[in-house]
Amino acid sequence: MKHNPDDRRDNVERIQHNINHTIKNMELAEEMIEKTSDHKTKEDLKEKNERRREALNGMRAEIQDEAWDREHGYQ
Protein backbone atom coordinates (compact mmCIF):
# COMPACT_ATOMS: atom_id res chain seq x y z
CA MET A 1 0.00 0.00 0.00
CA LYS A 2 1.44 3.34 -1.07
CA HIS A 3 1.17 6.40 1.11
CA ASN A 4 0.23 9.72 -0.41
CA PRO A 5 3.10 12.19 -0.34
CA ASP A 6 2.69 15.30 1.79
CA ASP A 7 1.28 17.90 -0.62
CA ARG A 8 1.65 21.30 1.03
CA ARG A 9 1.18 23.45 -2.07
CA ASP A 10 -2.27 24.68 -1.03
CA ASN A 11 -1.61 25.05 2.71
CA VAL A 12 -1.38 28.84 2.61
CA GLU A 13 -4.72 29.09 0.83
CA ARG A 14 -6.34 26.51 3.10
CA ILE A 15 -5.15 28.30 6.24
CA GLN A 16 -6.29 31.66 4.83
CA HIS A 17 -9.72 30.15 4.15
CA ASN A 18 -9.86 28.98 7.78
CA ILE A 19 -8.83 32.43 9.02
CA ASN A 20 -11.56 34.09 6.92
CA HIS A 21 -14.14 31.58 8.15
CA THR A 22 -13.14 32.10 11.78
CA ILE A 23 -13.35 35.89 11.45
CA LYS A 24 -16.81 35.59 9.88
CA ASN A 25 -17.96 33.40 12.78
CA MET A 26 -16.61 35.95 15.24
CA GLU A 27 -18.54 38.72 13.53
CA LEU A 28 -21.74 36.67 13.58
CA ALA A 29 -21.22 35.93 17.27
CA GLU A 30 -20.73 39.64 17.99
CA GLU A 31 -24.03 40.36 16.24
CA MET A 32 -25.73 37.72 18.38
CA ILE A 33 -24.19 39.20 21.54
CA GLU A 34 -25.71 42.57 20.63
CA LYS A 35 -29.13 41.10 19.89
CA THR A 36 -29.64 38.63 22.72
CA SER A 37 -30.72 39.50 26.21
CA ASP A 38 -29.74 36.09 27.60
CA HIS A 39 -26.72 36.58 29.88
CA LYS A 40 -25.51 32.96 29.57
CA THR A 41 -25.64 33.07 25.78
CA LYS A 42 -23.67 36.32 25.77
CA GLU A 43 -21.01 34.88 28.07
CA ASP A 44 -20.77 31.67 26.03
CA LEU A 45 -20.33 33.63 22.80
CA LYS A 46 -17.72 35.91 24.37
CA GLU A 47 -15.75 32.90 25.59
CA LYS A 48 -16.01 31.25 22.20
CA ASN A 49 -14.76 34.40 20.48
CA GLU A 50 -11.81 34.53 22.88
CA ARG A 51 -10.89 30.97 21.87
CA ARG A 52 -11.27 31.99 18.23
CA ARG A 53 -8.89 34.93 18.78
CA GLU A 54 -6.33 32.55 20.22
CA ALA A 55 -6.82 30.17 17.29
CA LEU A 56 -6.37 33.05 14.85
CA ASN A 57 -3.00 33.86 16.40
CA GLY A 58 -1.91 30.27 15.82
CA MET A 59 -3.24 30.21 12.26
CA ARG A 60 -1.48 33.48 11.43
CA ALA A 61 1.82 32.10 12.71
CA GLU A 62 1.25 28.90 10.75
CA ILE A 63 0.47 30.77 7.53
CA GLN A 64 3.71 32.74 7.89
CA ASP A 65 5.66 29.50 8.32
CA GLU A 66 3.96 27.91 5.32
CA ALA A 67 4.53 30.98 3.15
CA TRP A 68 8.23 30.99 4.10
CA ASP A 69 8.49 27.27 3.35
CA ARG A 70 6.75 27.75 0.01
CA GLU A 71 9.15 30.53 -0.96
CA HIS A 72 12.12 28.38 0.02
CA GLY A 73 11.07 25.16 -1.67
CA TYR A 74 9.57 23.17 1.24
CA GLN A 75 12.93 21.83 2.35
Q: In the chain, what are the domain boundaries?
A: 11-67
Cβ-proximal residues to 33 (8 Å cutoff; 6+ apart), any chain = 42, 45, 46
Sign of torsion over alpha carbons 33, 21, 6, 68: negative
Residue 1: what pLDDT? 64
Helix (H, G, I), strand (E, B) or coil at 2: coil
Residue 68: what pLDDT? 92
Residue 62: what pLDDT? 95
Residue 7: what pLDDT? 76
Confidence of residue 4 (pLDDT cuts 50, 70, 90): low
